[in-house]
Structure 1
Amino acid sequence: MKAIVSFFITISLAATCAAQQDSAVNKKFSIHWQATAIPQYHFGFKSPYSGLNSLQASEPLKTSFTTTLYLAYKPFRSTYLVFDPEAAGGKGLSKTLGVAGFPNGEIYRVGDPAPKPYIARLYVEQRFPLSDKKEAVEGGLNAIQETTNKEYISVLAGKFSLTDFFDNGAISHDPRTQYLNWGLMGSGAWDYPANVRGYTLGLVIQALYHDFALRYAITSMPTEANGASLQWKYNKAMGQVLELEKEHLWQKDDTHFGTLHAGVFWNKARMGNYETSIKNSLPSYAPDITDSRVYGRDKFGFYGSIDNHFGKFHHFIKASWNDGKNETWAFTEIDRSFATGVSLDGSLWKRNNDHFGMAILANRLSKPHRDYIAAGGYGFLIGDGKLNYAPEEIAECYYSFNFFKWLYISPDYQFILHPAYNKDRGPVNVAGLRVHVEI
């Protein structure tokens, strides 16, 4: 533990020194660092029965921890290199099981709670200008302070998270600073390709012109459902996504405008099929999704979101859907999702860097997925042994206190009705506290 603390102190000092020394308007590199700790506790709830993947009716407080070093370098005029080493540890409630819209976006389904280092991002990006229009870019996480082309085509290859570029809303996206719930940090029904920690290998092509952005990615898939290793097999194991962004869907002025994100996705992997697994099961035995897995099965769907900014008041709405025929493979067991919420700037009450957010979320399963769980089947996240189906409905609110320029402390509360789509269990009240440092 002492070695880990020393490492964090060294990194933070290095990032601070780098930020102070490199004061030119156009910089060549960017160094930043973050650390986030989230203790969470849920109160006891009604639980007449449970299964292998159930949220436990009673358990002690659980804490997650992540830390990331963000390194970006610009060796040439339009070439960018990004390298983000990261470490994560801790435990999620009930081993990160039992709720499709899990309440902590910073925890992963890994067994060892000890912090483990790994490479989160390692990619190269080449941009090709489309015009002479320029814009000033502020320095930030993986962003270099500079004046650069506003309109360009970008080709990016390496390791990254698809949510770095796609479904990237401004109000409900980052569990380190905004909502914690999985269904609010992204579009719940987008089973986006990623390993167990949320990263993948692949290619991203972007075209930014005027107020539009068109993005396409082709990536690898986990070798197993929610697995750590990745693979790419043409037309057998691969993920694709296409997104259109309209930055000013409507606009009154610089602080009153709306932004649209709309995407379609198509994943292929060695997935199981819910209906086939039910048919294969013996009488009096629960179906097992793993017995129907074959390469080439796919999952198709779409997502969309609108962010509306009204000065210091912000509103979002997002919806997503997938066909729900084949096994959930990477993100979480949601086949239809709808969410909406608001965020208020603290300047309304003379706390300029504070924020308050409140949102509601409704998740649903497809009929084949629902029938599989009701027959006693298990996915990689949910399964109570049987099911009295109802939509999983969640409300979340948080308040982010900015105590110093670099320190944010956010109490968080979530109310979960019908956890894992089960009317017989819950409701669940989850209280948490996020401590976030960013330099």
Structure 2
Amino acid sequence: PYTRLHRAFLRQTIDLGGEVQKVDAGLNQFSGSQTSDRLVFTVGKFSVGDIFDTNKYAHDPRVDFMNWTIIDTGTFDYAADAWAYTVGAAAEWYQGPWTLRAGLFDLSIAPNATHLDSQFGQFQWVGEIERRYAIWDQPGKIAISGFLTRGRMGSFQDAIQLAAVNGGPADIAAVRRYQSRGGISMNLEQQLIPNVGLFVRAGVADGSKEPYEFTDVDRTVAAGLSIS
């Protein structure tokens, strides 16, 4: 047996005006109120997916889908340890129907390792812009996200070339060096009628280098319906 602390963070909301909204208590959230226009700052240990690439209909494997390329965009290689949590900071600006998000997060010491880089020498930038709207009084939103990872990772071509010279199977770990890997994705949710919603995700990422934390996917499209 072992113990792990997955989440421990501080969140500060600064109201900027607009409609006052009631906030119900929930997972990672105290009850209270907030205004529609606001700034939100989160610092500590949490999951990148708590803030970025969220979708009302496909994001929580406990209550909706379990496929990794459906609950998150398959190409979104977000920073995390082997349990999907990391240390970092995120800022969100809600203004009218728009939200801008940005975050900086720690990578694990090696791709998909159990421990994070204690010196923050390997890290990831994440950015997102979201637009909320309504079609025939049915709410929806679309978001565009991007990430840039800076860490020690291997190139598939380098691994193949080294194997051709030395013989034996290709070893991606043998050619790891400090470099960048990025990707961009789209995430849409649309209520059709109450309790029925549509979701669509699509993304691309640099397929020439190994993924650092999440799925080994460089092109993805996923869509579906949720009935609850």
TM-score, normalisation: structure 2: 0.93
> Secondary structure of the residue that 1:117 maps to in structure 2?
coil
**Residue type matched to 1:293 in 2?**
R
Runs of at least 5 residues in structure 1 that lack an aligned partner in the other structure: 1-113, 345-354, 356-439
Residue aligning to 1:364: none
- Is residue 181 of structure 1 aligned with residue 181 of structure 2? no
Aligned twin of 1:337: 220
Number of corresponding residues = 226
In the alignment, the residues of structure 1 paired with residue 12 and residue 197 of structure 2 have an alpha-carbon distance, to the nearest angstrom, of 33
Task: Name the counterpart of 1:158.
Answer: 44
CA drift of 1:132 comes to: 4.9
| Distance across 1 between alignment mates of 2:118 and 2:74 | 24
Kindly state the Cα deviation for residue 208 of structure 1 after the two structures are TM-superposed.
Answer: 0.8
Structure 2 Cα separation of the partners of residues 230 and 239 of structure 1: 12
Give me the CA root mean square deviation. 1.6
1:240 aligns with 2:125: yes
Q: Distance in 1 between matches of 2:118 and 2:208?
A: 22
2:145 pairs with 263, 271, 274, which one?
A: 263
- Structure having the larger proportion of residues in strand: 2
Give the counterpart letter for 2:14 in structure 1. Answer: F
Higher relative contact order (CA 8 A, sep 6+): 2
Structure 1 segment 291-370 matched on structure 2, within 5 A: 291-295=174-178, 297-312=179-194, 313-344=196-227, 355=228
The answer to whether the Cα contact below 8 Å between 2:91 and 2:101 also exists between their aligned partners in 1 is: yes
Structure 1 contact 232–238 (Cα < 8 Å) conserved: no
1:140 corresponds to: 26
Distance in 1 of aligned mates of 2:166 and 2:26 = 58
Query: What residue identity is the alignment partner of 1:275?
Result: Q
**Runs of 4+ deviating beyond 4 Å:** none
1:136-158 deviation digits (Å, cap 9, x = unpaired):
11221122222322221122110
1:191 aligns with: 77
Letter of the 2:54 counterpart:
N
Query: What 5-or-longer segments of structure 2 have no aligned partner?
Result: none
Aligned runs of 1:33-432 on 2, under 5 Å? 116-231=2-117, 237-248=122-133, 250-253=134-137, 256-281=138-163, 282=165, 284-295=167-178, 297-312=179-194, 313-344=196-227, 355=228
The separation in 2 between residues aligned to 1:279 and 1:273, in whole angstroms, is 10
Identity over aligned pairs, percent: 26
Contact 2:15 2:34 in 1 (8 A): no
TM (norm. structure 1) is 0.50
CA contact (8 A) 2:146 2:184 kept: yes
Farther-moved stretch of structure 1 (148-157 vs 271-280): 148-157
